Structure formats: C-alpha cells, structure tokens
A and B are shown apart, each in its own frame.
Chain A
Amino acid sequence: MSAIKSIKYRLIFWFLSVSSVIFTGLGIFLYYELREIVIGSVDRHIETEIQLLASWLREEEEHGHLEMEVVELSKAAVGEYAVSLSGHYYQIVSSSGKVIARSPSLSIANAYLPLENNLSQTPRIKTITGPEKGLLRLMSQSFKVPSDTITIQAADTLQEHYQLLDSFRNTILIVFPLTFIFSWIGILIITDLSLRRLKILSKKVGRITAKNLNERLEQQNMDSELMPLVDSFNTMLGRLEESFNRQGLFLSDASHELRIPTAVIKTSCDVTLGRERGAKEYEDTLRTIAGMANRITDIINRILEVSRLEGSTFLLKLSDVDLMDIMQDVVRLIEPFALSRQITIKLNGSSMNIKADRERLIEVFTNILDNAVKYNKPNGRVDIEVSKWGGEAIVEVADTGMGIPDNEKERIFDRFYRLDASRNMTAGSGLGLSIVQAIVKAHGGRVEVKSEGDKGSCFIVYLPMGS
C-alpha cells in the first residue's frame, strides 16, 4: 500500500514502464533496420552479379555460340565463385529447365540452386537454405535471347551477415538492460534528491505546533517549484495563528468578564460569613448573589450567542419585512427606558420593504438603540432616519451622547470591548455590538459608526433591499 502511495515508487514505476517500452522498441527497430541494410547490400551485390552475367551472355549470343561457351563463362568466374560451396553461386537455366552453366562453386560439389517456377523478367528474390545448409539470398531473373528465354540465378550467403546481426542483437541485449539499470539507479538518486527538499520542508512544517504558530517557513534557498507550497503553508499558518489568537483573546476576555460578578459573589460571601448577622443582611447578600448570578447567565448566553452567530449554525429566516415597521416596534420597546432617562426618540422615514430576518433585525436595532439611550446625556435625543440609496436600505441612529474617540471606532465591534468601564453600570456584557455586526453581516450588510468629538455618535446600518 505504502509503495503505491509513494511518489518515489510511482516515479520509478512510470520510469521503468516508459523506458522499457522505449528501449525494447528502439532495440527492435535498430535490429530490423540493420537487417534491412545488410540484406539490401547483399541484394544489390547479387543484382550486379546477374547484370554482369547477362551482359556476358548477350555478348556470347551475338557470336552465336551460346551453348559452347557456357563452360568458358563458368571458367571466367573467379575468386569466391571458384571455391566449392563458398556460399557465392550462380547458375544459368534454359527455358526448358536445363542448367546451361553454373559457377564452379556449384559444379565442383555437383550442386544446383533450386529452380524458379514462375519466371519473370523482373528480378525475384527470396531467402532459401543453400547446399551448404546455410541461408542464401537467391535472385532469379529471366532474359530473352534470340534463341531462347534463359534465367539467371545468383545467390549469396547470408551467413556472415547474420553473424553480424546476431552480434549486434547480443550487444543490444547487453547494453540496453545495462543502460536501463544505470538510469534506474540514476532516477532513484534524482527522486531522492528532489524529494529530500520536500522531506526537509515537511520536517519544518512538523515542528510548528500551537505553541510556535508565529513561526513561518523560510523562503530563502527554496526551490521555485516548492515556493507555492511554502507560500500556501505560510498563508495557512497566518490564518491559523490569527484564529488561535482570536480564540485565546475571546477566552481571556470571557474569563475576565466572568471574574467581576464572581468577585462580587465571593467577597459578599466572605464578608457576610465573617460574623453573625441579622436576617436582613443575609437577605441583602443573597440578593446581591442572585443579581450577580443573573449577570453571569447573561454573559454566558451572550457568549453562546456570539459563537453561534460566528459559527455555521446561524441561519436567517428571511421574509419580506417592512423596515419602518421593525423600527417602530424597536422604538416602542426602548421608549420606557428612554423616558426614564428623559431622552427623546424620533423616527423619520417611510415604509420600506426588504428581505430580512425580522427577529434578528429587532435584536440589532434594540442593541443599537439601547446603547444610544444608555450612553446619552440627560435630556438627550436619539434621531432615527430610515432611507434608501443604491439598492441598500439605510438606518441611521444618531445620539447626543459622549461620542466615541476615533482610535476606538474600530474596536467597538470587538467582543467584550467596552469604551469605558463606567458604562458598565447598566451591566452590559460588551457583546451587544459584536452581535449586531454578526447579524448585519449575515444579511449581507454592514455597520458603520461616525462620531465627531463629544457631539454624540451615529450608527449607520446598511442592508441590501432584496437578496
């Protein structure tokens, strides 16, 4: 299994398959090509011999003593044609099938070349077994002479040539597998070398754990092919580190948030239990504890809500809703609280239909309005304007409160972030605006905040009209 999944072994397997096909093909091709060349040269030699014999015959015919001179003709043959069964033969056959003349190499041994049945004036060639049991290349060609049609047959042994071919084949059979083995070793080394970089890289990646997520892979001395991998790893590490840090920050913020009510409970108990007390004091302490327990529950619920909103389990129930109608509901919800602080809320705008989650939007604007009232000056105002611009519904909530310093505008949407601990009196958990942000983002919208000095702040919610 592991061999199949290894890049190295796959590379070797493919290399072996491809190179064995190439080497075998090349070997076969070279062998047959050489054989063609060798036999071709034999054939040309025989053909020249036949042409030579034919011109001799024509010359003799002109003198009219064809029959007489055949012996002369055969005597004229010299060298290898004169040696018995040398593998170089010729014979001249009349149309009646009688051998008129043959080379001494045949006549001494009293051997004949096999006769050709279908005579033709174009040369016919084939490979036969000769009188000396070796392979022969035999060519037959007929010529018309005034008295008759004679056939000249000439043959040459292939024995030496086949020996050459055999030794060539043997060379191929030795050299090619050797080449094959050497290149196999070569490819083993090459894959090892190129995979070593990957191994080093994977070791480096392996060294990065949750404890040293701030480390990055070096880009120096890295092969250009591995650069995209290194880049992707570094990008991924960056994202991981960010989410790790956010998670850590969230946990420390959450625990910090929970420490305050816990400290109140703990100290209340310590002080109250410090001495014998009356029923009224015990009751007061229990009330304090109950209040703090509510606050802890509220913090936990909001933590859960934020993590749900930021997670994937958050689904919007979209329907056609009138944004103005939602705002009127929210204003009705907040009005008693606003009145208790002598704050006037004014809502401007007209009916506007959008596709949204009604309950969630009520949550969004309740949070925003709650802040606008909570952090307002006494006798302050909250002005709400509902309008549209370029396919977006816009809700602006402006208050006459203490405003938000420029350097804190970015952070107010962070979980648990609170501008000022003094605003803590109303027991906010510091999660309201991050919930607002999450819901508006889920709708495909965005939240902006404007604030100029201490003239109050303005929250602007942009929501797409339809989705």
Chain B
Amino acid sequence: MKNLKWRKWNNILHRDLGYLAVGLTIIYSISGIAVNHVEDWNPNYKIRHIPVKTTFFDEAPVQVLVSKVLTKINIAEKPESYFRPSPQELHLFFKNKTLKLNIARGTGEWEIVEKRPILYEFNYLHLNHAKKWWTYFADLYALILLFLAISGLFVLKGKNGLAGRGKWLTAIGIILPVIFLSV
C-alpha cells in the first residue's frame, strides 16, 4: 500500500511538473543547439556586410568630415555618434548599422546587425543574460528537471520500467558522456 502511494505521487508530480517544464525545455533545447555551434555562426545576431566605394576625403575636423561623408554617400539619416580609430578611418554609428570608412582610400563597408527573432530571446533566457531574479527562476527549473529525470525512472513498472529495459537505456545515457570525458 505504501509503495502504491509513493509511486502514485511520483507519477502525479512527474506529470504536472513535466507540463510546467515544457515551455522552458523547448526554449532551452533550441537555444542549446544554437549556442552549441557558436564557433560556426552567431546565434544572436545576423550580421551583413555591404561594401562601399566612394571618393577619398581630405583631412578635416571630424564634424565637417562626417557631413561630407553623409552628403557624398547620400545618407539622409543622422548618425547617433561617430568615432575615428585612426586618422585614416571613420566609423559612423546608426541604429542597427555602422558605416566603417577608410577616408584616405574612399572604401569601406556597411555592417548591418539584426537580432535573430525569437532565438535572441531564447538565448537571453537560456544563458541567463537577464541575471537577477531570473537566476533563481532558472535554478528552480533546473531542480524541476532533476526531479523529472529521477522520478522518470520510477514511473513505469515491469519490463518497460527501470528493472527491465530502463536499466540498459539509463546505463547507456550515463556511459556515453563518461566515454567522451575519458577520451
């Protein structure tokens, strides 16, 4: 009778906490795949480069230079700010894009940055960029996942439970990461 009660509550909690965890598990899984491949791509931003070719510009006070560049390249938008990394270079910062120009050569590029919709937000949560109270919420989610993993072992009985096929599959799931760590 005691066992029955224990298993009943195990399954109820596994079920209900499982439902609660669905949303975040989807978010963390998708984000996990995305950031796992951070060496191959930028999981947060899509960055495009568009070359620019224009005439060279004579040295001038930076405000004058900026005005000349905007006129010459036909840019109606006013830059939010600008910076000169060196006497030959001028960077103009606009909303979500930067114009990097070599004024001595008249060449450069637009760098256009776009957040990857949805994925940016998923990564924001998964990687805990929010910090503060989200840290504790994420800790709670981790504890729920831990519970789901352990309680899942005891949901079923018999040949499909831990005593049956379950022990083999669980063992494989543990041995594989150990092998990776040992190699």
Are A and B a genuine interacting pair, yes or no? no
User: Which positions in A face B, CB cutoff 8 Å?
Assistant: none
User: Which positions in B face A, CB cutoff 8 Å?
Assistant: none
